[in-house]
């Protein structure tokens, strides 16, 4: 069985995205007592293409869970996101020069059921603010599609891939997934 870890690529002020490095570092690892295989990939910092990429990876590997990872330049430590919101910054374009304000009709906020258990397994705090950029958009769309997914924000300094792998192992050993 497979777990997908998706980091984001470079964008504007972040020429080397630590989330892409983390996804690459965990690609191919076997985690937890259930011996799940991690598939790590990098997706574009694009409102449309990131989600399309996610759907194509899901179709390819049929994972039991998808973890998105993005960089939050203002944070000092990693945090698991609890909510995806139906809003985006009306002033910050993605790498495709697209500006988004919301995702159309739908709930204004969706809660990630996996956020707290994942945060506990990773031994990280939970955040209630995924921002207003592509990371939040990705999480909102994943939750709206009812994907088994969660989102982790990391600071520019990154997050140890070994800590992520160990925490994911604990998460899946305790979860009713896989």
pLDDT at residue number 178: 53
pLDDT at residue number 87: 85
8 Å CB contact between 139 and 26: no
Task: List, for the chain, all residue ranges whose pLDDT scores fall below the cut of 70.
Answer: 176-178
What's the alpha-carbon Rg for the chain, to the nearest Å?
A: 15
pLDDT at residue number 177: 63
Rounded to whole angstroms, the Cα distance separating 61 from 64 reads 9
Residues 40-67: tens digit of each pLDDT:
999 999 999 999 999 999 999 999 999 9
With tokens 């990872």, the residue in question is 69
Rounded to whole angstroms, the Cα distance separating 37 from 48 reads 27
| Residue numbers of the domain that contains 34 | 2-174
Question: 111 forms bridges with which residues in the sheet?
Answer: 83
pLDDT at residue number 101: 79
pLDDT at residue number 176: 65
Tell me the CA end-to-end span of the chain in Å, nearest whole number. 6
DSSP state of 113: T
Q: Domain total for the chain? A: 1
Neighbours of 33 (CB within 10 A): 10
Rounded to whole angstroms, the Cα distance separating 173 from 137 reads 29
Give the CATH number of the domain where residue 115 resides. 3.40.630.20
Could you give the count of Cα atoms lying within 13 Å of 81 in the half-sphere of its Cβ? 30
């Amino acid at each position: 069985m497979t777990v997908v870890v998706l980091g984001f690529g470079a964008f504007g002020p972040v020429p080397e995205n630590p989330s892409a490095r983390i996804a690459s570092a965990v690609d191919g690892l076997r985690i937890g007592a259930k011996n799940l295989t991690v598939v790590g990939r990098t997706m574009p910092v694009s409102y449309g293409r990131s989600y399309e990429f996610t759907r194509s990876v899901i179709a390819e590997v049929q994972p039991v869970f998808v973890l998105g990872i993005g960089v939050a330049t203002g944070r000092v430590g990693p945090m698991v996101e609890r909510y995806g919101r139906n809003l985006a910054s009306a002033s910050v374009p993605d790498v495709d020069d697209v500006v988004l304000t919301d995702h159309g009709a739908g709930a204004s906020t969706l809660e990630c059921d996996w956020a707290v258990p994942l945060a506990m397994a990773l031994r990280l705090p939970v955040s209630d603010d995924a921002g207003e950029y592509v990371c939040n958009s990705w999480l909102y769309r994943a939750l709206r599609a009812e994907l088994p997914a969660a989102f982790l924000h990391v600071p520019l300094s990154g997050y140890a891939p070994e800590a992520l792998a160990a925490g994911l192992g604990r998460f899946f050993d305790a979860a009713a997934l896989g």
